[in-house]
Structure 1
Amino acid sequence: MKIIVTGGASGVGAALVERLAEHEVWILDVKSPDRLVDAHRFVPLDLSDEQAINRVVADLPDSLDGLANVAGIARAPEPQTVVAVNFLGLRHLTECLTPRLVSGGAVVSVSSIAGRDWQARYQWLVPLLETQSFAEGMSWCHEHPEGLSRDPYTFSKRLVTAYTLRAAQEGAAKDYRINCVSPGPIDTPLYPEFEAIMGKAQSDWGKAQVGTASPNDIAEVLDLLLTGECGWLNGVDMPVDGGYAAGLQAGWIDFANSPVMKARRG
């Protein structure tokens, strides 16, 4: 199989690349991986740069079996950059490459449990979801900074999940599947940045509920969605969180008594 993996140099992306050792893989990342097997290629790419995406796309294979959108950032000096990398760049790359997917091909993106409430916020997501290009999306972000400044990471992950479910319509029509996974806490070098956003008390509380995933815990599900026999699975946001989302829904995790909710009540 010929598969594109963004963010494949570290963390979950690197764990996925390792699992794909027998496939042809193009690793798109801002930094180079520590090692490459013979069938793998590294291509530098900053997903916040539309023209860089276009240049890279021009050199990728005309026929592909899969795309894994794993790259992401927790924060940046400008909140628009978080949305550009996590959503606009992801969307632009995906829409450039889906026409190259073979029949039965697959796209899988990494969202987050942070975006699990996207439906309740959908009306605020639609204007950006309905922009028609990377540039138009960036213009929207600059024109609406109030919607990004508080928590651009969560906003971007709500967008990824909503986009995936919307894009499943085209996937069904053109015989490819598109899904996303929503992890909880993962033991990667990026986690301290999430901890800084959430606060240590909330971070510790969250990890105490079901524990922390390893990168491979997430990568094995991505591998399944890319290469496994799951051809009728389309438009699904799959929680890969050790049961955290289930706990919230079924009531055995009491989010109302988490540190962040207690702080809001004063």
Structure 2
Amino acid sequence: MNCPVLPSVFRPFPPPREGSGATAAGRRWRSLPRACPSPARGASPSRSTSASGVGAALVERLAEHEVWVLDVNSPNRLADAHRFIPLDLSDAQAIDRVVADLPDTLDGLANVAGIAQAPQPHTVVAVNFLGLRHLTESLIPRLVPGGRVVNVSSIAGRDWQSRVQWLLPLLETQSFAEGMNWCQEHPEGLGRDPYTFSKRLVTAYTLRAAQGGVGGEGYRINCVSPGPIDTPLYPEFESIMGKAQSDWSRAQAGTAEPNDIAAVVALLLTGDCGWLNGADIPVDGGYSAGLESGWIDFAASPAMMARRDSGKRQ
């Protein structure tokens, strides 16, 4: 059986160990959805691709497994064992069509695809949260006991609890369509930064969904929250934050390579950590630790200093 990699990647069990008594034919193939990389330079800001970035690094880490790549763009390079299925996460019907073609039994799902900007703010939320949720909840019933879901969020979403009253109306919608209607009817609810809003939703959703994994037979769902990553998508984040704030953030704990993030996603998908459930893991070189323990002073950042200066002028 093949493994889909859309905003997710699905991978089969490795071959049985010699002497284990198991046969390849007797093993069930696992599917681990994988994350899609960031858009190539010059790509539309509303697109994401598995041709580069974290998704591509994840595919390479799982190269010994058959993988299906699900994305809006066909990767430039794709191993013979992999398959490509086009998918637009902002389109619920497109997600449903892809889900209908996927295996009946899956071992995991990794949601890595995401966008930073789009002409319409609600498109960012549709791709980063509503599409992720719709795909995940469509596939959870197919997961084997203990199957794993990994969502790639962002350190931008780690403060979701302080904003939960603004997130709950959208978190509690019951479908993609209901969520889109809410976004279109409440554009002010998305704030000035729909990307951060969407990542707060992803982190909050992951932790709330962990209830379904309580007990030995449930699925496991966790999220990985990267800091700055050296990918073609980063200039889009820089344009959102401003160069001064971007440079300051990167100076605090450095910049990750795509493989740094893919390594943690792969561990959560395939590693010996089956009791881990409902965790938000910052993969940011210690940036979050610095903020939380005080050795990074966010009040000294350009963004906060500019805000204080603006307040004084008013």
Q: TM-score, normalised by structure 2?
A: 0.83
Superposed, 1:37-186 pairs within 5 Å as: 37-172=79-214, 175-186=218-229
- Unpaired stretches in structure 1, ≥5 consecutive residues: none
Cα deviations across residues 105-129 of structure 1 (Å, max 9, x unaligned)?
A: 1000100011111000011111100
* Structure 1 match to 2:32: 3
Q: CA deviation at 1:149?
A: 4.4
Partner residue of 1:215 out of 248, 253, 258: 258
Q: Is the 8 A contact 1:9 1:29 kept in 2?
A: no
Match of 1:245 among 254, 267, 288: 288
- The reply to whether residue 36 of structure 1 matches residue 84 of structure 2 is no
- Correspondence for 2:274 among 225, 231, 248: 231
- Looking at CA atoms only, which structure, 1 or 2, has the larger radius of gyration? 2
Give the aligned length: 266
The yes-or-no answer on 1:192 pairing with 2:235 is yes
Pairwise CA distance, 1:24: 2.3
Residue 40 of structure 1 deviates from its aligned partner by 1.4
Residue matched to 2:298: 255
Contact 2:148/2:268 (<8 A) preserved: yes
Q: CA RMSD in A?
A: 1.0
Residue identity in the other structure for 1:162 = A
Kept after mapping to 2: 8 A contact 1:6/1:28: no
Q: Secondary structure at the match of 1:230?
A: coil
Q: Secondary structure at the match of 1:4?
A: coil
Aligned to 2:312: none
Q: Is the 8 A contact 2:35 2:152 kept in 1?
A: no
Shift, 1:39, TM fit: 2.6
State percent identity of aligned pairs.
80
The one-letter code matched in structure 1 to 2:248 is W
Asked whether the 8 Å contact 1:9–1:27 carries over to 2, the reply is no
Of 120-129 and 196-205, deviating more is 120-129
1:21 aligns with 2:67: no
Q: CA deviation at 1:18?
A: 0.6
Instruction: Name the residue aligned to 2:4.
Output: none
Contact 1:30 1:45 in 2 (8 A): yes
One-letter amino acid of the counterpart of residue 145, structure 1: P
